[in-house]
Amino acid sequence: MNKRSRMSSLLLIVILLNALSTSVFAGTELKQPLEVTTRFVSTSLFNNNFAISSSGKAQAATYINTEDADKIVINGYLQQYKDGSWQTIKSWSKTEYAQINSWNKSWYVVKNHSYRYKVFGYVYRDSILVDNLYYISDEEVY
């Protein structure tokens, strides 16, 4: 193999490795990845995220996208671990008569406690429940 062939082969390997790599951008640090689940009848995307900032602002986000639903209900719960169990300190509910439903909620929490975000999603087609979605975040300590 001559020098030119080796250089071409090396360049091809570098290009392939670069194409297969994942780009990462600086920004807000997420302590957990977004969870994506697609094992449902109508739901094509179910994303959730939960994080607490250094100032104590808890942010809970949910996004549900469907193929052919006509109603999506989201029930979310911010929970604090206290006295040996998870207790709901804030709850939200939202109903959309559409194929997409989402939110980004925030609430300030107190220090020296553990928190989590729990969410239930209900997807309906022709008034029949077709997908029952469920998510619990990892525990966040503030």
pLDDT for residue 23: 44
Domain of 123 in residue numbering reads as 31-141
The conformation of residue 137, written as its DSSP 8-state character, comes to P
| 6 assigned to some structural domain | no
Count Cβ atoms within 10 A of the Cβ of residue 1 and give its class: 0-12 exposed, 13-18 middle, 19 or more buried.
exposed
Q: What is the CATH number of the domain that holds 131?
A: 2.60.40.10
Q: At 111, list the tokens.
A: 């220090």
Using alpha carbons only, give the angle 64, 70, 76 rounded to the nearest 5 degrees. 40
Q: How many domains does the chain have?
A: 1
**Which residues, at least 6 apart from 33, have a Cβ–Cβ distance to it below 8 Å?**
none
| 10 assigned to some structural domain | no
pLDDT for residue 50: 97
| 124 assigned to some structural domain | yes
How far apart are alpha carbons 58 and 79 in whole angstroms?
11
| 96 assigned to some structural domain | yes
pLDDT for residue 137: 97
pLDDT for residue 40: 77
- Phi–psi pair at 10, nearest 5 degrees: -65, -45
Mean pLDDT by 10 residues, the chain (142 residues): 61 57 45 57 93 96 95 98 96 97 96 97 96 96 95
Three-state secondary-structure class, residue 20: helix
pLDDT for residue 25: 44
pLDDT for residue 28: 45
